[in-house]
């Protein structure tokens, strides 16, 4: 678990990990996987929201989400916002990052 009071520099805003982001695009959507649903759109990398001062989160705090759950679906994260999205699906971003991390271990 990440100590957010004194995070490792890799977990601070703006840390780049192109290899991780590229690998995430080849994974299934973490939310579809968790919900046991068939994924219908491509996977994109979503960076965790709600921790910083409006700066982009570290690439290590990213998860794979299909386009439907990320930006363009009726209940997409960027359409309904973090709180409504987490309530709608009953899961938080940290757990989806853990799912993504586990999937990346097998790539």
Structure tokens at 94: 């940290």
Q: Which residue has the higher pLDDT, 32 or 7?
A: 32
**pLDDT-based confidence at residue 5 (cuts at 50, 70, 90):** low
**pLDDT-based confidence at residue 93 (cuts at 50, 70, 90):** very high
CA distance 105 to 64: 14
The predicted pLDDT at position 99 comes to 97
According to DSSP, residue 13 is labeled: T
Residue 14 reports pLDDT greater than 80: no
Question: Averaged over 94-104, what is the pLDDT?
Answer: 97
Mind giving me the DSSP string for 60-106?
GGEEEEEHIIIIISTT-HHHH-HHHHHHHHT--HHHHHHHHHHHHHT
Domain 15-105 annotated CATH 1.20.120: no
Burial 76-92 (b: 16+ CB within 10 A, else e): bbeeeeeeebbeeeebe
The residue behind tokens 């989400």 is: 65
The predicted pLDDT at position 1 comes to 55
The predicted pLDDT at position 15 comes to 83
pLDDT in tens, 34-89: 999 999 999 999 999 876 666 778 899 999 999 999 999 999 999 999 999 999 99
């Amino acid at each position: 678990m990440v100590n957010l009071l004194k995070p490792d520099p890799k977990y601070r805003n703006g840390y780049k990990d192109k290899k991780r982001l590229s690998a995430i695009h080849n994974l299934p959507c973490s939310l579809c996987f968790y919900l046991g649903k068939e994924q219908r759109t491509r996977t994109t990398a979503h960076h965790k929201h709600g921790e910083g001062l409006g700066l982009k989160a570290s690439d290590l705090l990213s998860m794979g989400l299909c386009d439907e759950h990320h930006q363009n679906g009726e209940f997409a994260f960027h359409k309904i916002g973090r709180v409504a999205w987490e309530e709608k699906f009953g899961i938080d971003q940290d757990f989806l990052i853990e799912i993504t991390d586990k999937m990346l271990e097998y790539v």
